[in-house]
Amino acid sequence: MTSRQCFHAIMNFETPDRIPLWDLEGFTEGGLRTWVAQGYPAQMNPFDYFGIERAERVGLDDGPIPAFIPRIIHEDDEWVITIDRYGTTVKTLKEKSVTPTIYYYLKGAVETRADWERMKQRHDPRDLRRYPKEWSEELLEYYSSLDRPVWIWSHWGPGRGPKSGCMMGLERFLEVLIDEPAFVEDIFDFWADFLIELMRPVVEATRVDYMFFMEDGIGYKNSTLISPEMYRKLWMPYLKRVCDFLHSNGVNYVGHYTSGNIEPLIPAYLETGINLFGPLEVAADMDAVKLRKEYGRDLLLMGNIGRQALMDGPEAVEKEFYAKVPWLMEQGGYIPAVDDMILPDISFAAYQRYVQLVREFETS
Taking a C-beta distance cutoff of 8 angstroms, is the pair 246, 202 a contact?
no
CB 328 within 8 A of CB 299: no
The CA-CA-CA angle for residues 233, 197, 215, to 5°, reads 45
C-alpha radius of gyration, the chain, whole number: 21
pLDDT at residue 163, as a whole number:
87
What's the confidence (pLDDT) of residue 100?
Answer: 67
| Predicted structure pTM score | 0.93
Q: What is the pLDDT along the chain (364 residues), one digit of tens a residue?
A: 999 999 999 999 999 999 999 999 999 988 999 999 999 999 899 999 999 999 999 999 999 999 999 999 999 989 999 999 999 999 999 876 656 678 888 999 999 999 999 999 999 999 999 999 999 999 999 999 999 999 999 999 999 898 889 999 999 999 999 999 999 999 999 999 999 999 999 999 999 999 999 998 899 888 899 999 999 999 999 999 999 999 999 999 999 999 999 999 999 999 999 999 999 999 999 999 999 999 999 999 999 999 999 999 999 999 999 999 999 999 999 999 999 999 999 999 999 999 999 999 876 5
**Secondary structure of residue 270 in the 3-state scheme:** helix
pLDDT tens for each residue of 26-53? 999 889 999 999 999 998 999 999 999 9
Instruction: Return left, alpha or beta for 301; rule: phi > 0 is left, psi -120 to 50 is alpha, else beta.
Output: beta
Length of the chain: 364
| Per-residue model confidence (pLDDT) at position 94 | 86
d(CA 71, CA 89): 10
Instruction: Give CA–CA dist 269/346, Å, rounded.
Output: 33
Q: Are 58 and 64 in contact (CB under 8 A)?
A: no
* Cis? peptide before 279, omega within 30° of 0: yes
CA dist., res. 107 & res. 82, Å (int): 11
Domain ranges of the chain: 3-64+110-360
CATH no. of 3-64+110-360: 3.20.20.210
Cβ distance 166 to 173 under 8 Å? yes
pLDDT at 99: 64
Greatest CA separation for the chain: 59
Q: Rounded to an integer, what distance in angstroms lies between the CA atom of residue 47 and that of residue 236?
A: 37
Q: What is the pLDDT of residue 97?
A: 63
Strand residue runs (E) in the chain: 56-58, 71-75, 79-83, 89-93, 103-107, 150-155, 159-162, 210-214, 253-257, 276-278, 300-305, 334-338
State the Cα–Cα distance between residues 270 and 268, nearest whole angstrom.
Answer: 5
